[in-house]
């Protein structure tokens, strides 16, 4: 179940960019705001989702959507060197796409 979290429009924009893998500096440049402002929005997002880092946020969203239960998500591309990696680039892009879709379905507060 997806946590019932109300995000402002700007928090939603920052969250989308985080889920796309952008750094704070990249997000600041894309949104034409300062890095400090990005950090402020992330602090609020983390508080609303009750997490303390990007990783926790992504994992919490993954568990909420059921994606984190996928064996593919937890497969290592390093273990078993010489074997074909199980986590392909396309898979992670699908996973991020699902999160963006889920977030666009959640309610946004202006």
Residue 88 has pLDDT above 50, yes or no: no
In a domain, 82, yes or no: no
Looking at the 3D structure of the chain, how many domains does it have? Answer: 1
Domain for residue 80, yes or no? no
Q: Are 107 and 69 in contact (CB under 8 A)?
A: no
3-state class (DSSP) for residue 108: strand
pLDDT band at 60 (very low <50, low <70, confident <90, very high): confident
Residue 30 lies in a domain: yes
Instruction: Give the closest residue to 95 by CA, choosing from 85, 87, 106, 84.
Output: 87
Residue written as token pair 């892009």: 93
Residue 20: which CATH number? 1.10.10.10
pLDDT band at 83 (very low <50, low <70, confident <90, very high): low
Q: What is the span of the domain harbouring residue 54?
A: 8-70+87-105
Phi, psi of 49 (to 5 degrees): -90, 0
List the structure tokens of 100. 């963006």
**pLDDT category of residue 7 using cuts at 50, 70 and 90:** very high
Residue 50 has pLDDT above 80, yes or no: yes
Would you state the pLDDT for residue 101? Answer: 60
Q: What percent of the chain has pLDDT over 70?
A: 55
Distance, in Å, from the CA atom of 100 to the CA atom of 94, rounded to the nearest integer, reads 10
* Global model pTM greater than 0.85: no
Q: Is 78 inside any structural domain?
A: no
């Amino acid at each position: 179940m997806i946590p019932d979290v109300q995000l402002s429009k700007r928090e939603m924009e920052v969250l989308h960019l985080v889920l796309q893998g952008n750094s704070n500096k990249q997000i600041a440049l894309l949104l034409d705001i300062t890095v400090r402002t990005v950090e402020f929005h992330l602090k609020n997002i983390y508080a609303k989702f009750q997490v303390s880092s990007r990783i926790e946020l992504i994992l919490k969203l993954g568990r909420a959507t059921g994606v984190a239960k996928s064996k593919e998500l937890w497969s290592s591309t390093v273990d078993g060197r010489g074997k074909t990696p199980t986590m392909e680039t396309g898979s992670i892009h699908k996973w991020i796409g699902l999160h963006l879709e889920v977030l666009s379905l959640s309610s946004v507060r202006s």
